[in-house]
Chains A and B, each alone.
Chain A
Amino acid sequence: MANIKGYNMPDELYYHKDHSWARVDGNRVTVGMNDFFQKEAGDIVFVDLPEEEEEVSQGEVCGKIQSRKWIGKLVAPVSGEIVEINEELEEDTSLINSDPYGEGWILVIEASDLESELGNLMQGEALVSFIEAEIKRAEEERAKG
C-alpha cells in the first residue's frame, strides 16, 4: 500500500486524473474513487450510477457522486461494457469513505481495449507527482482563504 502524504494509493491499481481507480483482473476492471477524492469530498451522500450493459469510453462520465451540495463526476478509467454495479451503495454510500478500495467499489467494466488504454492511466512516480501537485494546489487555496 503506497502512502502519498497521508493518502492511501495502493500500488497495484491504475489511476485516472479525475480520481477514479481501476483494478485489473483479466479483462474485468473494478472501478472506484481514490482516497484523495473521498477525503476532499467528505461524506458521500448519493451515487447516481449507470445501468448494467451500458457501454462507456475511457474518460467518459459514467456516474455522479454527491457530497454535501457538490455533485462530482465518476469518470470511466477504461472503455467497455458495465457488467456489474455495487448495489450495497444504494443502502450505504459511506462505504466509499470508509473503504474506498474494498467495499466502496462502484462498478465493474468488461474492458474492450485494455492494453492500449492502461498506458493513459497513472501508477508509480507519475502518480506520486500528480497527487503531490493536487495536495499543493489544495494547500495553496486554503492558505489564501
Chain B
Amino acid sequence: MVAVWRLFKNTQRSVSTAEGLAVDDTLPESVSNHGSPPILHLYTFIPSVIVGKYQDIEAALKLDRCRARGIEFNRRSTGGGTVIMGPEIVALGLGINVDYPGLENGGVGGVFESMARVLVGALERLGISSHFQPKNDIEVSGKKIAGLSAAADTGNSLLFHTSFLVDFDIELMTDIMNTPVEKLSDKGYNCFSRRMTTVREELGEKIPVESAMEAIQRSFETEFSIRFREDQPDQWEKEKIRSFIKNRYTNRDWIFSHKHPRARMGVGRLKTRAGLLEIYLSLSGSSIESLLITGDFFSTTDAINRLENALKWTSAREEKIQENLSRVWQDNMIYGLDVPTLTKAILKAKANQVRL
C-alpha cells in the first residue's frame, strides 16, 4: 500500500515570516509528538530576509535598509546563512522522522542527498538539468538555484528548509545584505548574478510559482513512492503554531539572539602570475561562511564555484583551506594559478578581517 503524507500547500497568499516559520517548526513536532506522517509545507513569503539560527542578524543585514524598503526580517530554526524570500521563491518545509525509509539515519550528508534528489527531480520535470553541489546547494551550470538547510530538534524528527528560486531580485539582495563586496556595487551585482540563477531565467519564460510547487510535490511522490493528501493544521498543530509565533518569531530575544559565532569580513588582493586575485571573505567564528574569488584571471564560472563551495562552512585554518582546495583542484581551474597561491590570497583576506 502506498504511504500517504500530508501536504500543507498555500497558493492563495504569501505569508509573513512569523507565520511561515511557525508552521514549519510545527511539522517535526507533529511528526514526533502527535503521530503525524511526514508533512510537506509548500508556500511563499511576503518580501523578506531570513537568517540562519546561529547568524548575527545585525552583522548579516542592513536592518535600516530592510525597514526602509518594507522587507521583513526574521531568524529561522535551521542552519546556514541569509536567504532572501518573496512571492516568487518557493519556500519548502518538511517534517520527517530521521529513520523514515529512504532517508539515511545518523549521517548528515546522506540526508541532504535524499532531499537534493527530490529537488533535482523537480527541476527535471520543469525541463531544467541540475545537480547536487555538496553539501547544500542545487546548481544549474555552476549557478545556485536552490539551497538546503536542516535541524534535528524534536525527538527523532528533522526539519528541512529549502528556498527554490523561481525568480530573484539581486538588486534587493545587494541592498539589504552586508557583504564584503558592498563598496563595489557593480562588481557586487555581477559577482552574485554569475553565481545564481532562477527557474525563469533558465526556461526563458515566466512560469507560475504554482508550477514549481507542483513539480516539487510530484518529485517527492516519485522519490519516496508516496502520495500526498492536501490538509490543514489541526487544533493541536494550530496551538503549536500560535506558540511558535509568540515565543519565537515575534519575540525580539529570538530574532536578535546573541547565540552566534563572531561575524567578520575581509578583502584580500594578491598580484599573481595568473593575474590579480581578489578574495571577499565572510567568517563565522573560526569557519568560512562564504567567499567570492574574483579578479582578472582566466577561469570558468563552474570552476570558481567549485572552489568556493569547497571552502564554505569549513575551518578557516591554513592547513584546512589547503586541504579542502586540494580535494577539488584540477590543473588550470584558474589558468596559471596553484593551490598555495590561492590559499595565500584567502589568508590575506582573513588577515584583513574587520568586525561588522
**A→B interface (CB under 8 Å):** 19, 36, 40-43, 45-46, 48, 61, 64, 66-73, 91-94, 97, 134, 137-138, 140-142, 145
- Chain A: interface secondary structure? mixed
Contact B110 A72 (CB under 8 A): no
Q: In this assembly, does B106 line the interface, its C-beta being within 8 Å of a C-beta of chain A?
A: yes
Contact A94 B107 (CB under 8 A): no
Contact A141 B317 (CB under 8 A): no
**B→A interface (CB under 8 Å):** 52-54, 77-81, 103-114, 117, 132, 135-136, 147-153, 259-261, 284-287, 289, 312-315, 317, 320
Task: Specify the chain A residue showing the minimal Cβ separation from B109.
Answer: A40
Contact A137 B106 (CB under 8 A): yes
Contact A43 B153 (CB under 8 A): no
Task: Tell me how many residue pairs across A and B have CB atoms closer than 8 Å.
Answer: 121
Q: Which residues on the B side are within 8 Å of A68 (C-beta)?
A: 79-80, 108, 135-136, 312-313
The list of the 8 closest CB pairs from A to B, nearest first, reads A69-B80, A141-B110, A141-B104, A69-B149, A71-B151, A40-B107, A45-B287, A68-B313
Contact A69 B148 (CB under 8 A): yes
Contact A94 B320 (CB under 8 A): yes
* Contact A46/B152 with A68-B108, A68-B135, A134-B105 known, Cβ cut-off 8 Å: no
Contact A72 B259 (CB under 8 A): no
Max count, chain B CB within 10 A of own CB: residue among A43, A69, A91, A138? A69
Contact B284 A45 (CB under 8 A): yes
Q: Which residues on the B side are within 8 Å of A40 (C-beta)?
A: 106-109
Task: Specify the chain B residue showing the minimal Cβ separation from A66.
Answer: B79
Distance of A69 from chain B, by nearest CB (Å) = 3
Cβ contact of B151, chosen from A19, A41, A70, A93, cutoff 8 A: A70
Q: Which residues on the B side are within 8 Å of A61 (C-beta)?
A: 153
* Contact A48/B286 with A73-B153, A94-B315 known, Cβ cut-off 8 Å: no
Distance of B73 from chain A, by nearest CB (Å) = 19
